[in-house]
Amino acid sequence: MKTSSKTLFVLALAAAGAGAACTDFLRGPGLTDNPNSPVTVTPTQQLIAMQSNMATVLEGQLARCAGISTQQLIGSNNQQLTYCTQYRVSEGDISGQMAAFYTGGGLVAMRNIEASGDPLLVGIAKIWEGLAFGTATSVWGDLPYSEALNPAIVTPRLDRQEDIYADVFNRLDEGITSLQSASAAGNCEPADLIYCSTAGPRATEIARWIAAANTLKARFHLHLVERNGVPEYAAALAAANLGIAEIPATAADGMHGRGPGDFRMFHGNVQDSDANIWAEFLAQRSDIVAGNVLVSVMKARNDTIRLAAYFDRNAASQFIGSDQNNVAVPPTSAPSAINTSVRRLFTFRQPIVTWAENQLILAEAKFRTGDSAGAVVNVNNVRTKVGLPALAGASFTDVMLEKYIAMFQNIDVWSDYKRTCVPTLIPYTGNSEVLGRLPYGAAERNANPNVPLPTQYPGSTSGSSPVRNWNDPNAC
């Protein structure tokens, strides 16, 4: 290689500098910064990380326990059998799931994004915060929230569940207001993996986020019905009327939550990287099977379309579920597995908030506020979209059974059951009621003396069987 005189001069200067100050040889910009451990990140980078974390939380162990507790599914082996089927989940088992709502890509990232000042990003982050803590409080009840990120408070108090719901409604409203003030010009934000996974207009992205926020408001108003009664149904109805309204294009889109306005997690095809969390889990473990209650409900309602969309036939070409004690019905048969052709694809975009849910929120709220005819219309909107015949009329049980089916693999199916006691469930043998909440994480209780012992959880009616939260005062 030919070396110029200029190059030799630079090399000589570098050598002289090295001899004069060898301690500075490996210091300076670009030399001491570890690209795998950044000290600063942009709001859009944090948005991507937060969405990845929340996908793991909302599709992971919480969703598995929700589906198993409501007997859509049954944990048949190992941890899923003990944690969820047998109600033996402990503080140590769930610690990471609880912590994920706060650290890393949880509340910390949400608040950092909210501090960016960008109206679009602020609005998206606030709606994410509303979804996250509306879900968290439905699972755990009272939680650290208002003081959770205050560096001056080492042991934050637990906010009451009712206060957290009030804050959740505020976050959702703040998110809507911020989005309404954002510029609608140009293309959508590429870091938004929910409503901008493919390029599209920002105006559409904003409109879809606002609709999803209203459906979430409606969802969480329903959570408070058992405590506050009909006014919460009226509030849910008002919010749902502004919620997700874009109708899925096909029957498959309707049953799998693939409508254009549906809130779906983005996933790729790489195991342990960006794949669907349910699919990753089931690719490694065969610990979850169909629940007999859901299978029986769908058979009784001649819902063979969604039955085949949710589950695979067993070796005898049957759809079979297991009961609350992990016994197949009939016991001589093998229970069905979760559908492999769609639901267990790594790239399946897991639905979190959907048009179908919004329709069935409208149905429940209308039924409970005296408009039973209107409720039937919304129920039939969902049924006919997935290829089922319309119902001539519907009872409240019909409304909730349709929602029980439509909310397959969704954490919120648990709140629906705790509120309405539909469908009828038999608890795991030896228990007086179906598990209604999860224990606090061990890491939080060990570090924070404000977190009570399991026998003293808030919401317990007796102090000795703390399986319900404040918003769930009545056992099914």
Average pLDDT over residues 334-347: 97
Where does residue 142 rank: exposed (0-12), middle (13-18), buried (19+ CB within 10 A)?
A: buried
Q: Could you tell me if 319 and 309 are in contact, meaning their C-beta atoms sit under 8 angstroms apart?
A: no
Q: What is the pLDDT of residues 421-433, one digit of tens each?
A: 999 999 999 999 9
Q: Quickly list H helices, 115-156.
A: 119-140
Phi-psi region of 405 (alpha: psi -120 to 50; beta: other; left: phi over 0): alpha
Q: Residue 104's pLDDT is what?
A: 81
What are the angstrom distances between the C-alpha of 329 and each of 112, 324, 340, 423?
50, 10, 22, 17
Q: What is the pLDDT of residues 73-83, one digit of tens each?
A: 999 999 999 99
Residue 232 — pLDDT band, cuts 50, 70, 90?
A: very high
Beta strand spans in 255-330 (E): 263-264, 288-290, 321-322, 328-329
* Whether pLDDT at 21 is above 70: no
Question: What pTM was computed for the model?
Answer: 0.91
Q: Residue 32's pLDDT is what?
A: 53
Residue 15 — pLDDT band, cuts 50, 70, 90?
A: very low
Which CATH number is 42-182+427-455 given?
A: 1.25.40.390
* Whether pLDDT at 302 is above 90: yes
Average pLDDT over residues 399-416: 98
Average pLDDT over residues 280-307: 96
Average pLDDT over residues 39-58: 94
The CA radius of gyration of the chain, in Å to the nearest whole number, is 25
Average pLDDT over residues 249-262: 98
Average pLDDT over residues 221-239: 98
Percent of the chain with pLDDT over 90: 85
Residue 229: helix, strand or coil by DSSP? coil
Two structure tokens written together for 86: 């047998």
Q: What is the pLDDT of residues 24-45, one digit of tens each?
A: 434 444 545 565 555 678 999 9
* Whether pLDDT at 265 is above 50: yes
* Whether pLDDT at 85 is above 90: yes
Q: Please give the angle made by the CA atoms of 38, 44 and 50, to the nearest 5 degrees.
A: 80
The residue with greater pLDDT, 462 or 163, is: 163
Q: Which amino acid is at 318?
A: Q
Domain spans, the chain: 42-182+427-455, 287-329
Average pLDDT over residues 394-418: 98
Percent of the chain with pLDDT over 70: 90
Average pLDDT over residues 153-162: 96
Q: Residue 455's pLDDT is what?
A: 76
Residue 122 — pLDDT band, cuts 50, 70, 90?
A: very high
Q: Residue 88's pLDDT is what?
A: 94
Report residue 458 CA to chain centroid gap: 23
